[in-house]
Structure 1
């Protein structure tokens, strides 16, 4: 059994990804894919992780955990999602490092399922919007300076984080995607996490697109897809992009940023560095990037 786990990052549609997959729970079960309810493991998993910090979980421990998580007798893949598995929002920049807990938390996680192959799925986001969004989710008791903990926002590189994930868990496959691409890539992300091909009918592939497209455009798009079935994923994406270009809801794309010391020049620099970083990630040989 393969374990596909969405490990974050925060503010990259983690909850929506799980909801989308759960919509298809029955269809995926027919393909041997299990999707345990998050309530079955989000309290239990951290407790088990703390017990296997320096050694692999015993077969009995693994079996006990799986018995509590799974409601299928036989499956070839299990999908999990827990964006706080590395850390909570306020600790993203702990020790003045971007997700510093990756270095030891993910090996603990790997120890929990030591006898099973694993795949990590991680969403990435432009720091220019990632930082305001994640700081906004920290609550009123954390100041902006406490949140950053001395971190230079212009030094944030997802490629560096992916390199540390690879070093921490060298035998785990890594698939990543950009938050900004999800209106177009969402269906592919769902399929790759579930390990199913294009012939398996999945619903919810347009969920993210619907949040930034005018209602009229979505109605026309659904009709078009019904009467003009795409022959492959690339053709499908071209259709989605064409409709998005014509019917995009500009108001839905607007994001107001109000953080100390931030201005338009900083946002531009962060965005440019992020786009360069995505090109670097796309060229990484040991990481699979779902490109638009």
Structure 2
């Protein structure tokens, strides 16, 4: 069985992804894809990870776990999402390293499903908005200085994290997507995670686009897509982009960043470095990048 797991990062629409997949639970089940509710494994999985650690879970243990999680009889793929599997928000920069616990937490996770194929799905985000959004989730008792733990935001590179994940779990495929692209790529992200083709009807592919487009535009887009069926994903995105250009809600794109020592020049440098990092990631061996 293939296990597709969204492992983060934080603040990249992980909860929205699972809600969208659960909308399609019935149709996916018809294609042998199980989408168990997070409540079936969010508490259980960390417990088992701590138990197995660097040891492979026994076939019996794996079977018991899967029986607890999956309700589908004939299952070829299971889709999971747990953005806190590496760490909680306050520990993202723990001890001065970006997602430091990925080095050992992800091998623990791999060992839980040792006898099955596995792939990780990871959402990436511009540090200029990722850092303030992640910090906002930490609560009033965490200072920004404590959150950053001495890390210079200008040194953040998602490619470096991906390299560590590859080293930690060399037999696990990695698929990445940029948070900023999801209004246009969301449908493909959902299909890549579930492994179903373009002919399988799935709802929710426009959910992210709907958050940044005026209601009139979304209504017209849905009507157009229903009456002019796109022949492929590329054509579908061109249509979506055309409607977005005309009906974008500019107010939803504005993000006010208020962090100690941050100014427009820093935000510009972070954004430029992020775009360069995405180019590097798109060319990494063993990493699939979903581009718009």
The residue number in structure 2 matching 1:52 is 52
Number of residue equivalences? 292
Aligned match of 1:290: 290
Deviation at 1:285, TM superposition (A): 1.9
Q: Secondary structure at the match of 2:7?
A: strand
Deviation string for 1:227-265 (max 9, x for gaps)?
111000000001001110111000000000000000000
Partner in structure 2 of residue 5 of structure 1: 5
1:1-292 map, 5 Å: 1-292=1-292
Cα distance in 2 for partners of 1:54, 1:183 equals 38
- Report the CA distance between 1:271 and its aligned residue: 0.2
- The 2-side partners of 1:27 and 1:256 are apart by 40
Per-residue CA deviation, residues 45-68 of structure 1 (Å, 9 max, x unaligned), is 000001111210011110111111
Q: Deviations over 1:6-51 (max 9, x none)?
A: 0000000000000000000000000000011111111010000011
Distance in 2 separating the partners of 1:223 and 1:74: 36
Unaligned runs of 5+ in 2: none
Give the whole-Å Cα distance in 2 for the aligned partners of 1:74 and 1:109: 23
TM-score (norm 1): 0.99
Q: Which runs of 4+ in 1 moved over 4 A?
A: none
Q: Distance in 1 between matches of 2:147 and 2:75?
A: 41
CA–CA separation in structure 1 for the residues paired with 2:29 and 2:159? 34
RMSD: 0.5
Tell me the CA shift for residue 206 of structure 1.
Answer: 0.2
Distance 1:181 1:256 in 2: 20
- DSSP 3-state at the match of 1:8: coil
